[in-house]
């Protein structure tokens, strides 16, 4: 399983969609990577 941190689904400079983003075992976490990971780590510590 993979979690991809990205600001949006925009294809970026090359204009090519990454097919891995649509894979069944992939999850997208949108937003600023540092802020998002800080929140994830905080939630995991509360488990």
- CB 32, CB 8: distance < 8 Å: no
> Rounded to whole angstroms, what are the CA distances from 6 to 2, 29, 39, 45, 47?
13, 6, 15, 23, 25
Beta pairing class for 26-30 and 2-6: parallel
Give the model confidence (pLDDT) of 1-47 as tens digits.
999 999 999 988 899 999 999 999 999 999 999 999 999 999 999 99
Nearest residue to 1 via CA among 27, 19, 40, 30: 27
Note the pTM of the prediction, 2 decimals. 0.73
Which pLDDT does position 12 carry in this prediction? 84
- Decide: 3 and 29 in contact? Cβ < 8 Å: yes
């Amino acid at each position: 399983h993979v979690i991809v941190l990205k600001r949006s689904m925009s294809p970026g400079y090359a204009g090519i969609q990454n097919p891995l983003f649509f894979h069944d075992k992939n999850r997208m976490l949108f937003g600023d990577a540092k802020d998002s990971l800080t929140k994830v780590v905080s939630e995991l510590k509360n488990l």
